[in-house]
A and B are shown apart, each in its own frame.
Chain A
Amino acid sequence: GAGVSQTPSNKVTEKGKYVELRCDPISGHTALYWYRQSLGQGPEFLIYFQGTGAADDSGLPNDRFFAVRPEGSVSTLKIQRTERGDSAVYLCASSTTSGGGEQFFGPGTRLTVL
């Protein structure tokens, strides 16, 4: 398919564990975004990449959260020492430019921290 893909679709982990969430953007999209969505709320911004660099990481809640995009395509969101409050759906989006155009979203990864 030509859309944004995310793996895994569901992830259940225990408090204190480390998790990695993967995002494959639409081919050729230079901008990639991570958002977090709690039940009943709109997505909240975490971090934005333009190419390989994090252009804006102001939404990361604390230093347990980190994301990389080493080759300017696939991105991985990493969460250390997970807490129950980290449970949410983590959404990835990509766009063709950094100019604020349409962002195409993936289906998300539902993270549950027990």
Chain B
Amino acid sequence: GESVGLHLPTLSVQEGDNSIINCAYSNSASDYFIWYKQESGKGPQFIIDIRSNMDKRQGQRVTVLLNKTVKHLSLQIAATQPGDSAVYFCAENSRDTGRRALTFGSGTRLQVQP
């Protein structure tokens, strides 16, 4: 992912609203995608994943949408809570090419206003 230095894109939402975080990827061979949540001082925490044979997957309060045509991934968080405040990263790899390492995007900071 491209670097944004110290200035992460920030999404500010009100508690209870829905949040949508977007991610673009460039590798057309990517076939596995993950969203991670990272709180300050902690390692990335798995939220939800999706494989390229799907375009939508739902979890608890979260939905991931995949548009392979435009190489775009989004994370939707329903009824956002203050505990959702963190930096969110999309990540991808390509199992078909044998590549196991994840490539991370540059991240989006989510700020939830009480």
Contacts and interface: CB of A to CB of B under 8 A. Distances in A.
Interface of A: 4, 31, 33, 35, 39-45, 48, 50, 55-56, 58-59, 91, 93, 98-100, 102-108
A1 to B, nearest CB: 13
27 contacts: A31-B100, A33-B100, A33-B101, A39-B6, A40-B5, A40-B6, A41-B4, A41-B5, A42-B1, A42-B107, A43-B102, A45-B101, A48-B100, A56-B100, A98-B100, A100-B93, A100-B95, A102-B46, A102-B49, A103-B46, A103-B102, A105-B36, A105-B43, A105-B45, A107-B42, A108-B42, A108-B43
Contacts, number: 72
B3 interface: yes
Given A55-B100, A106-B43, A107-B43, A42 B49 contact: no
Give the size range of B's interface with the partner.
20 to 34
B43 A42 contact: no
Contacts of B91: 42
Contacts of A40: 3-8, 107
Interface in B65-114: 89, 91, 93-95, 99-107
Interface of B is mostly: loop
Contacts of A41: 1, 3-5, 106-107
A103 B44 CA distance: 9
Nearest to A46: B101
Given A59-B101, A106-B43, A107-B43, A42 B95 contact: no
Given A42-B89, A102-B34, A91 B43 contact: yes
A16 to B, nearest CB: 27
A65 to B, nearest CB: 15
Given A42-B106, A103-B46, A103-B102, 16 more contacts: A33-B102, A39-B6, A40-B107, A41-B5, A42-B104, A42-B105, A42-B107, A48-B100, A48-B101, A56-B99, A91-B44, A98-B100, A100-B93, A103-B34, A107-B43, A108-B43
Contacts of B41: 107
7 shortest interchain CB distances as A-B pairs: A42-B104, A105-B43, A45-B101, A100-B95, A40-B6, A105-B44, A100-B32
